[in-house]
Chain A
Amino acid sequence: SQQGEEDPQALSIQEGENATMNCSYKTSINNLQWYRQNSGRGLVHLILIRSNEREKHSGRLRVTLDTSKKSSSLLITASRAADTASYFCATDSGTASKLTFGTGTRLQVTL
């Protein structure tokens, strides 16, 4: 079963705009992670936020976590065409750093 549900499933924006993706999950977590996947490629880790953190920044990325609502959001500011990819949230809920993934958001950034 999927732990995370992501919203929207697809997002199309113009270069320079901000992109926001949301993730909801079902169980308590140790941490939540966001990954990017370019078409036909493997997943690349973007950012990890621990359950006791509420917000985290990395370059143009901003992640928030609300454990009371079991939700997280990823904001990409000043999007570029190179940000075009699928974005996945993943939760680490137990031992051995096993991840449960959401179904992903496909982001298209046009010039």
Chain B
Amino acid sequence: DAGITQSPRHKVTETGTPVTLRCHQTENHRYMYWYRQDPGHGLRLIHYSYGVKDTDKGEVSDGYSVSRSKTEDFLLTLESATSSQTSVYFCAISNGQPQANTFGSGTRLTVV
């Protein structure tokens, strides 16, 4: 997806290990978001950022932390991965209302 990339695209990790997912944008958009997608739940917001070093919790933030040290990058960290965090993670960006979110291609994370 133009202007937004996620890495890695796929990751398998063991329970209890830390994991960091990266989202990088080239659009200079103010807002960045992390969602997770699970069958039967659609997408749910984990955390979001409204500026450098400005972040807030979403609907399903337990077990996750985020950081945004510069406009382009938004990191999602699972401090100690659990099997319930097996999911597809999407990053999105927006420049505010009324504007649609632009989504990355996703990271498929499997915790074994």
Residues of A near any B CB (own CB < 8 A): 1-2, 4, 30-31, 33, 35, 41-45, 48, 50, 88, 90, 92, 95-104
A102 to B56, CA, bound (A): 22
Q: Which residues of A contact B56 (CB under 8 A)?
A: 96
Interface of A is mostly: strand
A97 and B96 within 8 A (CB): yes
A103 to B42, CA, bound (A): 4
A44 to B40, CA, bound (A): 19
B43 and A98 within 8 A (CB): no
A48 to B1, CA, bound (A): 19
* Contacts A31-B97, A88-B43 supplied; 6 other A-B pairs, CB < 8 Å: A42-B1, A43-B101, A45-B102, A97-B98, A98-B48, A104-B42
B43 and A43 within 8 A (CB): yes
B44 and A45 within 8 A (CB): no
Closest 4 pairs between A and B when the two form their complex, measured CB to CB: A45-B100, A101-B42, A42-B103, A101-B43
A83 to B33, CA, bound (A): 27
B31 and A31 within 8 A (CB): no
A97 and B101 within 8 A (CB): yes
A100 to B33, CA, bound (A): 12
Q: Which residues of A contact B102 (CB under 8 A)?
A: 45
Q: Jot down 17 A-B pairs with beta carbons below 8 A, ordered by A.
A: A2-B41, A4-B42, A30-B97, A33-B101, A35-B103, A42-B1, A42-B90, A43-B103, A45-B100, A90-B43, A92-B98, A95-B50, A96-B31, A97-B96, A97-B98, A99-B92, A103-B40
